[in-house]
Amino acid sequence: MEEGVVNEILQGPLKDIFDSKQLITNVSGSGNNWAVGYKVFGSQYQDQIVEKLRQTAEHCDCLQCFFIIHSMGGGTGSGLGTFILNVLEDEFPEVYRFVTSVFPSGEDDVITSPYNSVLAMKELNEHADCVLPIENESLFDIVSKINQMVTSGKPGTTVKPESLVTLNEGGIKKKLQEKPFDTMNNIVGNLLLNLTSSARFEGSLNMDLNEITMNLVPFPQLHYLVSSLTPLCTLADVNIPPRRLDQMFSDAFSKDHQLIQADPKHSLYLACALLVRGNVQISDLRRNIERLKSSLHFVSWNQEGWKTSLCSVPPVGHSHSLLALANNTCIKPTFIELKKRFTRLYKKKAHLHHYLQVDGMEESCFTEAVSSLSSLIESYNELDVTKGLPVHDPLRLNIVI
């Protein structure tokens, strides 16, 4: 699958990172068909996949987790990607599975993307430990904002060259040679780097990856985390006022910095994690939490639901950075929208025959998938209803003296 893509990467600047023994490709793609990706390629390549996974896993003394990075709208990423998720659960049940999924946006060019996404969502619901949804639209908005900042030339806003979150290598001049999706992919790359930084580098408050699932997933089904990354670039101004640090925290909660189209500030938080990198002390962190707490709505049983981590090593080009992960009901509209687009196609049974042609696919797959999505939306609804209601503490145990 996607031989062309893989070959391109192998010829690019990152070719030395990938071990050629770990790659599986095929000339033909999945034709934007989840069923082909999952059932056909899945069964065809299952043994090879398991074999390669085992080989690589054996090299680790301590396997922390798996990262799956895929898109939901297509056929291979969506179908084969979720198939691999299943395989990982069977082969390595105790290892956490983190999935970074690119959700299709409204004006997606793939017509069957709603089908592919909903079918993939069912797998994510059941087999992933933690999902970080991303939307191309948001990435694109962020990239435009950065470009604006770079080219605006307002006094006091000159940007330090190496600090753009979207850069491949140092230097703004190379921008013209970059491919269009590279800048957006760099943002996701930075997300993953920041996520794992505390596990890779030292810090005063370390955080392992399994702590993310422990703290941010209160119920097994609700494991979708909205992420936001700040700062997007550092100004070249040497006199950085201390307010910039506080600004970084405020930005993380604004809807312009989220990696999906969502507004967490006006929805209900179930939990929130702040992963800080750089020279930030615990007192700065605490001060900002106090400051932001009042403007955010937290669920009644988790009023102080903050998880924090401090890593001393900042990312390249920045003096500090913040990744905020929120388990928030603002993701519900994304799912509702997805369901709507799915229903629109499914009502007319449009393009359904491409899927049903594949061995092992039946209409029940579709109905199960959409009901799984509906129950997820319902769970979020139930929580949303409690927002803003007066809180009654449950009665405590009474001790008889």
Give me the residues that bind another protein (CB under 8 A), please. 61-62, 64, 202, 204-206, 208, 210-211, 213-220, 271, 281-286, 289-290, 293, 300-308, 393-394, 396-399, 401
Query: What's the min distance (Å) between Cβ of 299 and another protein?
Result: 8
Beta-strand ranges (E) seen in 233-283 are: 268-278
Measured from the CB atom, the residue of 176 and 399 that comes closer to another protein is 399
Give the Cβ contact number of residue 261 at 10 Å: 19
Helix (H) or strand (E) holding 345: helix 332-347
Measured from the CB atom, the residue of 210 and 319 that comes closer to another protein is 210
Beta-strand ranges (E) seen in 161-233 are: 226-230
Query: What's the min distance (Å) between Cβ of 217 and another protein?
Result: 7
Query: What's the min distance (Å) between Cβ of 272 and another protein?
Result: 9
Helix (H) or strand (E) holding 98: strand 96-103
Are 253 and 264 contacting, i.e. CB atoms less than 8 angstroms apart?
Answer: yes
Measured from the CB atom, the residue of 54 and 286 that comes closer to another protein is 286
Counts of helices then strands in the chain (DSSP H, E): 13, 8
Query: What's the min distance (Å) between Cβ of 283 and another protein?
Result: 4
Query: What's the min distance (Å) between Cβ of 236 and another protein?
Result: 24
Are 346 and 370 contacting, i.e. CB atoms less than 8 angstroms apart?
Answer: yes
Measured from the CB atom, the residue of 135 and 284 that comes closer to another protein is 284
Residue with tokens 């409690």: 386
Measured from the CB atom, the residue of 65 and 118 that comes closer to another protein is 65
Are 243 and 278 contacting, i.e. CB atoms less than 8 angstroms apart?
Answer: no
Measured from the CB atom, the residue of 77 and 305 that comes closer to another protein is 305
Q: If you compute the radius of gyration of the chain from its CA atoms, what whole number of angstroms results?
A: 22
CA dihedral 288, 292, 293, 296 (to 10 degrees): -150
Query: What's the min distance (Å) between Cβ of 99 and another protein?
Result: 18
